[in-house]
């Protein structure tokens, strides 16, 4: 897949997700976590309680912050780096999106892939902030068995139109920073990581890992140079 074709595929994915009116994963967490006492919160709550508290704070904060709703990328990125990354297993998310080739990547390639993938996702969902108005989030209780280390928390976003299914896949991490961390998102039956994996695989097969990194970087540069509507 050539770089222009790859950019078109990413654009189609962006339009598909925004058409579904998906609430932004990273931005939602960033704005809500800005009001929480830190990453330790995740270790103190069950996964469904964590998602519920984040969702409620997210909606409240986005409504009150014109800079976030206008897509201020500097503010958004700062919040993501400071507040989101401690609560998301982003390395695992990137590895799943890249697929088996991730195991062959050098430390520098892995670092660049995570940086460019994060920028892609933040830019993709920044535009969705303007759509948030009177939505509410309903979180379904999760039944955990002893020893469970992964769980799906199912939610519905209710607003002016039909309810939107938005599910989070979380894992329980041990050791320092232990707690529930998000590593995938499902919108109306479509998992985000799997959506990108098929596109990334085509670019890797055509141009290798460096080709994927360069294509993502070019896509992000192009998106960053365009004025917002």
pLDDT tens, 141-153? 898 888 899 999 9
pLDDT, greater one: 212 or 161: 212
pLDDT, greater one: 192 or 103: 103
Separation CA 35–CA 22 (nearest Å) = 22
pLDDT, greater one: 185 or 95: 95
Architecture of domain 3-225: Roll (3.10)
Mean pLDDT, range 126-136, rounded to an integer? 64
Give yes or no for a contact between 203 and 212, defined as CB atoms under 8 angstroms apart.
Answer: yes
**16-20, 73-77, 83-87, 166-170: lowest mean pLDDT where?**
16-20
Separation CA 90–CA 114 (nearest Å) = 7
The model's pTM is 0.74
Instruction: Calculate the average pLDDT of the chain.
Output: 76
Band (197; pLDDT cuts 50, 70, 90):
very high
Position 70 scores a pLDDT of 77
Mean pLDDT, range 109-135, rounded to an integer? 78
Answer yes or no: is pLDDT of 205 > 50. yes
Answer yes or no: is pLDDT of 108 > 80. yes
Position 176 scores a pLDDT of 60
Give how far Cα 200 sits from Cα of 20, 182, 215, Å: 22, 21, 10
For the chain, the domains span 3-225
Answer yes or no: is pLDDT of 9 > 80. no
Contacts of 55 (CB under 8 A, 6+ apart): 28, 32, 137, 139, 155
Band (102; pLDDT cuts 50, 70, 90):
very high
């Amino acid at each position: 897949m050539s770089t222009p074709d790859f950019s078109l595929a990413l654009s189609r994915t962006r339009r598909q997700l925004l058409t579904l009116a998906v609430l932004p994963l990273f931005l939602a967490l960033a704005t809500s976590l800005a009001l929480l006492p830190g990453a330790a919160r995740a270790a103190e709550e069950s996964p469904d309680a964590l998602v519920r508290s984040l969702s409620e704070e997210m909606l409240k904060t986005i409504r009150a912050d014109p800079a976030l709703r206008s897509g201020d990328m500097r503010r958004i990125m700062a919040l993501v780096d400071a507040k989101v990354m401690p609560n998301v297993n982003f390395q695992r998310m990137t590895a799943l999106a890249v697929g088996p080739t991730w195991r062959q990547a050098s430390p520098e390639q892995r670092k660049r892939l995570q940086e460019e993938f994060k920028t892609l996702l933040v830019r993709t969902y920044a535009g969705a902030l303007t759509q948030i108005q009177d939505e509410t989030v309903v979180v379904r209780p999760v039944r955990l068995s002893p020893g469970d280390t992964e769980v799906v928390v199912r939610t519905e976003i209710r607003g002016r139109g039909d309810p939107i299914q938005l599910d989070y896949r979380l894992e329980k991490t041990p050791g320092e920073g232990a707690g529930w961390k998000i590593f995938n998102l499902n919108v109306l039956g479509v998992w985000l990581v799997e959506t990108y994996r098929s596109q990334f695989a085509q670019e890797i097969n055509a141009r290798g890992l460096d080709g994927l990194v360069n294509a993502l970087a070019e896509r992000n540069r192009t998106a960053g140079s365009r004025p917002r509507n």
